[in-house]
Amino acid sequence: MYLTKEEEKILDGEQGEVTERLFRLLVRLGEIYGADKMIPVGSVQVAGVSYKSIGDPGTEFLEDMASKNTKVKVLTYLNPAGMDLENWKNLGFPKDFAKNQLRIMSAFKKMGIVATSTCTPYLAGNLPRFREHIAWSESSAVSFSNSVIGARTNREGGPSALAAAICGRTANYGLHLWEKRQPSVKVKVDYDLDFNSDFGALGYFVGKQVKNKIPYFTGIKDANTDQLKALGAAMAASGAVALYHIEGLTPEADSVEKKHLETISVGKKEIKETYDKLNSGKDPDIVILGCPHASLREISQLAEKVNGKKLKKPVWICTSRMIKEAAERMGYDEIITKAGGSIVADTCMVVSPIEQMGYKTTGVNSGKAANYLPGFCKQNVVFANIDDLVEGQT
């Protein structure tokens, strides 16, 4: 692989031992995947933030790196943490868990990483441009940035993203290359998608069918960015899909090659069967919306639905700290809290320890969350649209 003089000097240890070690990791990955060179990245998103996912070994590793004065070179955000970093006590997060989570955040902060934890960095101040090379980790954020924005990233693992942040580079392979962004399957949608959960169901179904391929959708007449993030998140969860194109909607759809693709069709029957398949419970103990992290529009929709009502069971909506602050300013937070719900920042239903908090059945409108909650959090799942979930609680 071609390396510049500056990059060779990194390998000679000119920027310190930690940077050298991490750069070696990136070069090795590049060699494995046949990269021709290293490329600068505009931003990074690091996963492996929740204490639930990384435990003591991960925490100690991060503290060790931070203690060596390691600093990131580019704008770097974090994936959701295991709890709301400010309101964890009121929400009932365990104290020991909180202590460890705060240690992790402080190590990241020391490295110059923006201590905001979200899977929708593009809604919270980290917005890449079309064709910008980035190194992001969380699967729904990777899908959104590749597909809806047209930025370019592979799905990085926790260590490779951290390495990219500290070295400011990644290897030029996979979805960084135009020829690897071409669709390999056409998906004909013959159903009027309405709720975000319909997009989640479609994504879950298609992900299972196409596994790792790049789908090119036709028949989706319209979709807002909330619906596109729901679609991509579910496809990433069920089929590791990191990029999709939609005719007439996503930025690369007109220019990719779509002749001679095998075609699969999705209609009412497949969407309904997916709803049935993702439902494993009844009567949720808690409803958690905001997977991927909610936009201000989604929070305002919830506020409108619960305004002046009293919820029978807790309803959370997960989001980033920035969007929560905007929601507070708009008075949505007050409306939701008065009804008995909560806007929960920095975390989500999958990476927080909800099973330790006594919840057994969770209601969600996200295909991704419905996919992960049984395995990761031992939950029965009620997968439905926001109206059914929230009206069932008022």
Residues in contact with ligand F3S by CB under 6 A are: 79-80, 119, 138, 140, 233, 291-293, 318, 348, 350-351, 368-369, 372
Contact 43, 77 (CB under 8 A): yes
Query: Measured from the CB of residue 353, what is the shortest distance to ligand F3S in angstroms?
Result: 13
Query: Measured from the CB of residue 350, what is the shortest distance to ligand F3S in angstroms?
Result: 4
**Of 29 and 354, which CB lies nearer to ligand F3S in the complex structure?**
354
**Of 135 and 364, which CB lies nearer to ligand F3S in the complex structure?**
364
Both tokens assigned to 257: 């090659």
How far is residue 369's CA from residue 237's CA, in Å, rounded to a whole number?
9
Both tokens assigned to 213: 């391929």
The alpha carbon of 245 is separated from its chain's Cα centroid by a whole number of angstroms, namely 18
Query: Measured from the CB of residue 118, what is the shortest distance to ligand F3S in angstroms?
Result: 8
Contact 271, 202 (CB under 8 A): yes
The 3-state DSSP class for residue 90 equals: helix
**Of 140 and 197, which CB lies nearer to ligand F3S in the complex structure?**
140
**Of 107 and 318, which CB lies nearer to ligand F3S in the complex structure?**
318
Query: Measured from the CB of residue 301, what is the shortest distance to ligand F3S in angstroms?
Result: 17
Query: Measured from the CB of residue 109, what is the shortest distance to ligand F3S in angstroms?
Result: 20
How far is residue 58's CA from residue 210's CA, in Å, rounded to a whole number?
33
**AA identity, residue 161:** A
Query: Measured from the CB of residue 318, what is the shortest distance to ligand F3S in angstroms?
Result: 6
Both tokens assigned to 332: 């949505």
Both tokens assigned to 275: 């709803």
**Of 71 and 208, which CB lies nearer to ligand F3S in the complex structure?**
208
Residue 341's region, left for phi above 0, alpha for psi from -120 to 50, else beta, is: beta
**Of 37 and 321, which CB lies nearer to ligand F3S in the complex structure?**
321
